[in-house]
């Protein structure tokens, strides 16, 4: 299936946010809020792609039925004007294949497949896992290399092997090895996406296609502008945006991190998405105060003050 905003060098678009999953106060998925959030991210935060049911979407705590309904809600809201990529990874290859097939049936434009976590498989296991998922549907696949969570990296040699698969077209890199990523961009056709907001601009300088961001929930429009500035050759202004957003990245990514702080930040900008699910817990009052300071320092307009 063609991606609405993809190009040959950026098959899933350029500015993507790994979307949180809104919940009601009692912990149920809030599908109306899912649709509202998707629209907000595309219309106001200038995302041309969205990742659903990834790490920030609390995918380990949502059921397969919920995942499919979340994906359908996002496609209903923005599927004709943004690339919608479904998280289909787990530490169980059979389950990942089933998630991929369900996403394809629901109409996803692509798949995000994370390195199997906890099991710490050998590289041959990673190769066979990713290949099995890529073989399961006709959708393009973005690998998600995040050894800090998965326990093992995708090595350069394994990445080169996987790049030969016609449907494995991109990598979300949260390994932070710019040199290795640069090598991969030289010897393969894989599109690299920054999966670490701390390194967005450095990844652009290495030839990355774009971002899969967490802070894009509240500064996506700024990140989209950074990409445009850099691609148009205005490196100094891209650097200025990068520096402006540093406090936002610090506030969201360097405290409780991920879904906890993003949900707190969204409440501050007037886009409430409810609580997190256990084992995650709400940000503390101190964390919220520090986050507020960081958002203001980064120029984010708050509506709850």
What whole-number distance in Å separates Cα of residue 148 and Cα of residue 300? 29
What whole-number distance in Å separates Cα of residue 34 and Cα of residue 37? 5
Known catalytic membership, residue 144: yes
Cβ 102 vs Cβ 68: under 8 Å: yes
Cβ 104 vs Cβ 76: under 8 Å: no
Nearest to 127 by CA among 195, 151, 135, 52: 135
- DSSP code for 59: G
Known catalytic membership, residue 172: yes
Q: Check 31, 127, 172, 193 and give the catalytic one.
A: 172
Cβ 149 vs Cβ 116: under 8 Å: no
Nearest to 90 by CA among 123, 49, 121: 121
Q: Check 31, 117, 144, 230 and give the catalytic one.
A: 144
> What are the residue numbers of the active site?
144, 172
């Amino acid at each position: 299936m063609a991606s609405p905003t993809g190009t040959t060098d950026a098959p899933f678009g350029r500015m993507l946010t790994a979307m949180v999953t809104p919940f009601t106060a009692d912990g149920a998925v809030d599908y109306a809020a899912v649709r509202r959030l998707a629209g907000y991210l595309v219309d106001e935060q200038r995302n041309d792609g969205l990742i659903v049911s990834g790490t920030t979407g609390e995918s380990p705590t949502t059921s397969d039925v919920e995942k499919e309904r979340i994906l359908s809600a996002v496609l209903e809201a923005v599927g004709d004007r943004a690339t919608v990529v479904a998280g289909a990874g787990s530490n169980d290859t059979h389950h990942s294949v089933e998630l991929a097939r369900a996403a394809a049936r629901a109409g996803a434009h692509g798949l995000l497949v994370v390195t199997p976590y906890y099991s710490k498989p050998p590289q041959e296991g990673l190769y066979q896992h990713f290949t099995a998922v890529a073989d399961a549907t006709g959708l393009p696949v973005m690998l998600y290399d995040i050894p800090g969570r998965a326990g093992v990296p995708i090595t350069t040699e394994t990445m080169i092997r996987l790049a030969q698969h016609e449907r494995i077209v991109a990598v979300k890199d949260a390994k932070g090895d710019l040199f290795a990523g640069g090598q991969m961009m030289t010897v393969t056709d894989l599109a690299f996406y920054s999966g670490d907001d701390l390194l967005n601009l450095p990844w652009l300088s290495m030839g990355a296609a774009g971002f899969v961001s967490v802070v894009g929930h509240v500064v996506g429009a700024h990140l989209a502008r950074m990409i445009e500035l850099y691609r148009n050759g205005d490196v100094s202004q891209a650097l200025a945006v990068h520096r402006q957003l540093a406090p936002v990245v610090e506030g969201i990514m360097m405290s409780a991190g991920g879904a906890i702080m993003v949900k707190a930040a969204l409440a501050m900008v007037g886009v409430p998405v409810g609580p997190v699910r256990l084992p995650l817990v709400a940000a503390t009052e101190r964390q919220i105060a520090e986050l507020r300071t960081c958002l203001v320092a980064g120029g984010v307009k708050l509506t709850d003050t």
